[in-house]
């Protein structure tokens, strides 16, 4: 599966703003692997301001190095990073 960094790597030379067709064309030119191209071809047909916007819009896993078990454990943990004024409500 394509990662956030993979998407950014293959779009590093793209001039923004860019449309979906420009994004896909640049990734093909840069030699992106099939999983990256698949994710980019599934993008909504809008103009993107920068590579981060493209990567966020692509159907990719933000942190593929984290396994399903670890994600489940994180979801079960209480959220301790809540602002003090919101605690206890």
**Confidence grade of residue 6 (pLDDT, cut at 50, 70, 90):** confident
**pLDDT for the residue 2:** 76
**Domain span including residue 25:** 4-86
User: Tens digit of pLDDT for each residue in 40-58?
Assistant: 999 999 999 999 899 888 8
- Is the model's pLDDT at 18 over the cut of 90? yes
More confident of the two residues 59 and 18: 18
| DSSP at 86 | G
Total domains present in the chain:
1
- pTM for the predicted model, two decimal places: 0.67
Least Cα distance to 41 among 64, 61, 16, 58 occurs for 58
Instruction: Encode pLDDT of 65-82 as tens digits.
Output: 566 677 677 667 765 555
The mean pLDDT value for 18-26 works out to 96
Q: Is 50 exposed, middle or buried (0-12, 13-18, 19+ CB in 10 A)?
A: middle
């Amino acid at each position: 599966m394509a990662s956030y960094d993979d998407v950014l790597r293959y779009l590093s030379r793209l001039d923004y703003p860019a449309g979906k067709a420009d994004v896909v064309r640049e990734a093909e030119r840069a030699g992106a692997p099939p999983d990256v191209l698949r994710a980019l071809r599934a993008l909504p047909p809008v103009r993107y301001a920068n590579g981060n916007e493209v990567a966020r819009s692509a159907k990719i896993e933000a942190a593929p190095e984290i396994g399903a078990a670890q994600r489940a454990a994180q979801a079960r943990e209480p959220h301790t990073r809540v602002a003090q004024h919101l605690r206890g409500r």
